[in-house]
Amino acid sequence: MTAVDPSTRKMVLKVIFVSLLLDLISFTFILPLFPKLLEFYRNSEVGPDSQSTLLARIIGGLNAYKAAFAKPIDSRYDIVLLGGALGSLFSLLQAVASPIIGHLSDKYGRRRALLASMAGNILSVLLWVMAVDFRTFLASRVVGGLSEGNVQLATAIATDISDENSRGSTMALIGACFSIAFTFGPALGAYLSSIATVAANPFATAAGVSLTLIVVETVYLYFSLPETLPNKTEKIAAKTATKPAGLTRTNSHFLLNLVHFSFLLFFSGMEFSLPFMTYDLFQYNSAQNGRLLGFVGLVASILQGGVTRRLPPLLTVRIGVSACLLAFALLGRISTVGSLYLAATCLATTSATVVSGLNTLSSFEASEGERGGKLGILRSWGQLGRGLGPILFTSVYWWAGREVAYGMGALGILGVTILAFAGLKSPPGSVKKKTTKSEKKEL
């Protein structure tokens, strides 16, 4: 690839970091609010006299689904099941939209695609602000699922401005945004939900602040983000300098997509089941689960800032899937809070490594003109796994119990681990050369 001026790279990285942090903090506001938010809609729309509402029909379908299980499922889980269904819907919509957003960014440029995505995000959060009924709230989730492209486009931009040696550390920076946002965003969202401003929508304050962050992010991107797609920034040079001397593919995109899909299929199922398990074993409430997730986010951000960015991408993936395998084995057998937090440390290690490592590996297997599309397809397969995982995993959890569910999850992650160790290889240039410094001295 053509070298990017260091000052330009530093400036673009700053823009990516700030915008992605704003985006993810806004996105995580709603996570701790789902139970009370959906309870609010259920109390106002589900009852003997309101069986015709959309939410009443959905709750009826969930009750029929629960009735299929051998062991009874407490009605307190109705809201969590509904929240999981909405989360799966969002991920499945992302699976559809991500390849399209990626290909559009390859054709029209990263900046234009990102600004268009932000317009959809603004509409999504605006609908949430106005969501006095469940139908409007559902519309906001659908619009958000179809338009959210900040993460994948930030990844594509980071790849555009990074050479082979710095790409891994740049991807880790994006991962750090996730960890920081998931450490502080949910707590801030929970606090804002306690401030009532609109009686018809008790969560309007949190939604309004989320909207403000998204608008500020969009304005910041409009004025600060340059175009980074090489064939847009090098119109003349592209005719002679593109077509990199035969891009050598080390890992097939099929294998990378398979690993991403399989990993998130099991990992997301475990993530979603964690609050159920902590309630059943330790009678954890929302605040205790929030502290547990905050611990995971904090450890992950420390690892990404100090360790992950210095490691080759393939090594980060292998460390992450191994830690995930250990977490599954622990969660199927734990009986103390101490062992729970040991498993949470393994989960934090997994969160800090696998996805950023796979994104980096995929970027090495794509030329400049197809990078957005390839990364979009990778994200699409991951979101498909994230959409199906909670439904499948919790079904096994309720049908056969914790030990069987986590045992099956461990077997699945063992398969992913075998693929990571036996199938994936390090692309040329992904491992930093130790001789670089001495070579520079000679020059």
The predicted-structure confidence for 255-270, as pLDDT tens digits, reads as follows 999 999 999 999 998 8
For 310-330, what is the mean pLDDT?
95
pLDDT digits (tens, 9 = 90+) for 165-205: 778 778 878 888 888 888 888 888 888 888 878 778 889 99
Q: Minimum mean pLDDT among 1-10, 172-181, 353-362: which range? A: 1-10
Among 77-81, 205-209, 310-314, 370-374, whose mean pLDDT is lowest?
Answer: 77-81
**What is the average per-residue pLDDT within 18-23?**
95
Query: pLDDT by residue (tens digit) across 108-156?
Result: 999 999 999 999 999 999 999 999 999 999 999 999 999 999 999 999 9
- At residue 51, the pLDDT reads 64
Q: Measure the CA–CA gap between 204 and 210, rounded to whole angstroms.
A: 10
Q: How far apart are CA 79 and CA 71, in angstroms?
A: 18
Q: Does the pLDDT of residue 343 top 90, yes or no? A: yes
Is 60 exceeded by the pLDDT of residue 30? Answer: yes
pLDDT digits (tens, 9 = 90+) for 224-252: 999 998 776 655 344 444 444 456 778 99
- Average the pLDDT over 206-215 and give the result: 96
CB atoms within 10 A of CB 369: 15
Within a 13 Å sphere around the CA of 398, how many CA atoms are in the beta-carbon half? 21
pLDDT, greater one: 63 or 363: 363
Return the percentage of the chain with pLDDT > 90, whole number.
Answer: 48
Token pair recorded at residue 279: 């309630």
Of 36-40, 71-75, 191-195, the range with the lowest mean pLDDT is: 71-75
Average pLDDT taken over every residue of the chain: 86
pLDDT recorded at residue 367: 81
Is pLDDT above 90 for 289? no
365-393: average pLDDT? 89
Instruction: Give the pLDDT band of residue 323 (cuts 50, 70, 90).
Output: very high
Top-confidence residue, 349 or 390: 349
Where does the pLDDT of residue 278 fall: very low under 50, low under 70, confident under 90, or very high at 90 and above? confident
Q: What is the pLDDT of residue 81?
A: 74
For 75, phi then psi, to 5°, come to -65, -15
Task: Give the list of residues 6+ apart from residue 100 with CB closer than 8 angstroms, or none.
Answer: 376
Can you give the pLDDT at residue 432? 63
Residue 437 has pLDDT above 70, yes or no: no
Task: Give the per-residue pLDDT at 190.
Answer: 82
> Among residues of the chain, what percentage have pLDDT more than 70?
90
Tell me the whole-structure pTM to 2 decimals.
Answer: 0.84
pLDDT at 240: 42
**Residue 61 to residues 50, 67, 90, 136, Cα–Cα distance (Å):** 15, 10, 19, 20
What count of other Cβ atoms lies within 10 Å of the Cβ of residue 282? 16
- Report the pLDDT averaged over residues 364-391: 90
**pLDDT confidence of residue 442:** 38
Res. 434: pLDDT tops 80: no
Name the least confident of 46-60, 87-101, 318-332, 390-404: 46-60
Q: Residue 311 and residue 20: Cα distance in Å, rounded?
A: 23
Helix or strand or coil: residue 250?
Answer: coil
Q: Put residue 401 in one of left, alpha, beta given phi > 0 → left and psi -120 to 50 → alpha.
A: left
